[in-house]
Amino acid sequence: MDNSPVVYVLSDSVGETAELVIKAGLSQFTDEYKKAKINRIPYVEDEETIDEALQLASLNDSIVGFTLVDPKLRKYIHEQASKLRIEAIDIMGPMMNSMEKVFENPPRLEPGLIHKLDEDYFKRIEAIEFAVKYDDGKDARGILRADVVLLGVSRTSKTPLSQYLALQRLKVANVPIVPEVEPPEELYQVDPNKCFGLSINANKLNEIRKERLKALGLGDQASYANMQRIEKELIYFNNIISSIDCEVIDVSNKAVEETANSILHKIQTNSNITNL
């Protein structure tokens, strides 16, 4: 017969927070107690569910841990547990009460908000991974899957801009425009409203590329920083952008954050027009 201790977890959401805290507590005891069974009772919304759970806990001589944001339900579980002589631990209530005093602001009392935060976090991670995977034209398939497609010659901040926009949960693919390389067909299949050409002044680009060559320990006379080469690239870039007919942003004197804000504003504007 299995005589392992039992702990009941009651939550108005899925109960993961309470279970993690309880497991952390159990880890401080001997192996017998580490093996305690944790029975999770999620989505507790009424007194009847609490009564049923407490009866089970009473029969099994168990501890109850709970994370309920509704103060009425928290009070009820304390009262009923006391009557049944059950040890019931309010895992989140005291913390919220203290926060309310310090912040001088009442809590929202909405179950499951942490999971909405988690969802937001994972969307950002997914967007960052997407930006890395489809950086610098590595895989043209990303163009059709992206929320935003950045186009530009080398050293127009395509990669850092992709990462910055990824933090806003946008999936970004960026494509280098090089005269010797035909643009991928996907560029002509994607919605032009998703595409943004990053233009730059030839002299500014010349300065940036010279500094890049110095950083690499190379002479600044390489064709990469040659003005004729740069002008050729920019002419080719303008031809491609004209054929796609997409938005163009001059990044010559803009920080990455400024360019990102311009893109976000344009996306928002397009979204509002679509929803009219």
**What stretches of 152-201 show up as alpha helix (H) in DSSP?**
158-166
* Strand order, beta sheet including 195-199: 172-176, 148-152, 195-199, 247-250
Contact 155, 202 (CB under 8 A): no
The phi-psi region of residue 136 (left if phi > 0; otherwise alpha if psi is between -120 and 50; otherwise beta) is left
Residue 18 is part of which domain span?
6-111
* Same structural domain, 106 and 44: yes
Residue 160 lies in a domain: yes
**pLDDT at residue number 198:** 98
- 1/68: higher pLDDT: 68
pLDDT in tens, 179-197: 999 999 999 999 999 999 9
**What is the rounded average pLDDT for all residues in the chain?**
89
**Encoded tokens for 106:** 């009442």
Q: Give the pLDDT band (50/70/90) at residue 116.
A: low
The lowest-confidence range among 156-165, 213-222, 243-252 is 213-222
Whether 1 maps to a domain, the answer reads no
pLDDT band at 118 (very low <50, low <70, confident <90, very high): low
- In terms of domains, do 60 and 166 share one? no
User: The domain that contains 45 carries what CATH number?
Assistant: 3.40.50
Distance between CA atoms of residues 98 and 89, nearest Å: 16
pLDDT for 262 equals: 95
143 within domain boundaries = yes
For residue 1, pLDDT beyond 50: no
**What confidence category does residue 276 fall into, taking pLDDT thresholds of 50, 70 and 90?**
very low
Give the pLDDT confidence score for residue 35 in this predicted structure: 78
181 and 266 housed in the same domain: yes
pLDDT, one tens digit per residue, over 138-178 is 999 999 999 999 999 999 999 999 999 998 999 999 999 99
The pLDDT of residue 253 is: 92
Asked, for residue 13, whether it belongs to a domain, the answer is yes
The domain boundary, picked from 111, 142, 173, lies at 111
